[in-house]
Amino acid sequence: MTDRHLVVGAGPVGRHVAQMLAARGSEVVVATRSGTDTGFAGITHKRLDASDSDALSAEAEGAAVLYNCANPGDYTAWDQFWPPLASALLTAAERSGAVLAITGNLYPYGPVDEPMHEGLPDAATDHKGALRAQMWADAKALHDAGRIRAIEIRSSDYVGTGVGDNGHVSRQVPGAMQGKRAWVIGRKDQPHTFTDVLDTARLLVAAAEDGTAHGRVWHVPSNVPRTQQEAITDVLASVRRPPVGVTAMPAPVLAAASRFVPMLRELRELSYQWTRPYVLDDSAARQHFAMEPTPWDEVCRRTAVQ
């Protein structure tokens, strides 16, 4: 196996993956549509339309792993963004022989009444969840047919370094640090798993390079669930800031606003994640990879100072 790695996407996960690989001396190429420079030494940055299967395949030639760390800039445009990119990634993985390592999420499961484990069916009916479920189903089918090698890792909502507006907690931090009230979706008192974005990158790399881990989904080891109010309070306390008021946006207000704000309309469709316990069972990955999550206090500090 070569030690060349192609990372598609320079968002929170892609940046951590690239930095981690470069730090150990691997050859790393980060490909984005804009040619974004991650600012880390030892990484080559390429301007590339990854939905162009021929261009992506050419760049993936000779790579040991092709990482799907793409992070759509427009949350409302997934239906246009993902299908051509997912197709190109499958084509490039098959042509190049690189392992396809997919950064997934929990959307495919849809609403659940138990801790989410990898044995649950991908039963989502909302368009985002169904789309992500189909992406993994397509990759799994090619893997099972022996045409590619693929894995997908799934995490809950991101916290940690570099998450910013990509996280429900971290987007509240700038205002909360100034003593402003935090507004959250759903309920503020339900247990919810939050995943350190660095731990997501750690598992993605580990699973990609472990042949016994291929062909299935893995859940990222994450800390004990916290409510939204507890998580925001913990982040502030980690840098010795006092707690702030946390208010759940009333459902009628969210419903009315979603009629005019596309982003809120998308979030409302997934609001079930915040109205009941949303808990990740990560025991399989902990056992297989002997991996534990980054301590919560450290994750909170990195969330506060990003």
Whether 220 and 283 have beta carbons less than 8 Å apart is answered as: no
Containing 153, the helix (H) or strand (E) segment is strand 150-155
Tell me what pLDDT residue 205 has: 98
Whether 75 and 266 have beta carbons less than 8 Å apart is answered as: yes
Report pLDDT digits (tens) over 11-22.
999 999 999 999
Give 249's pLDDT tier (boundaries 50, 70, 90).
confident
Report pLDDT digits (tens) over 147-163.
999 999 999 999 999 99
Q: The pTM is what?
A: 0.95
Whether 202 and 267 have beta carbons less than 8 Å apart is answered as: no
Task: Give the whole-number percent of the chain exceeding pLDDT 70.
Answer: 96
HSE at residue 10, side-chain half, CA atoms within 13 A, is 19
Opening angle at CA 165, ends 222 and 6, nearest 5: 70
User: What's the mean pLDDT in 65-70?
Assistant: 98
List the domains of the chain with CATH numbers.
Answer: 4-157+196-222+279-294 (3.40.50.720), 164-190+226-274 (no CATH)
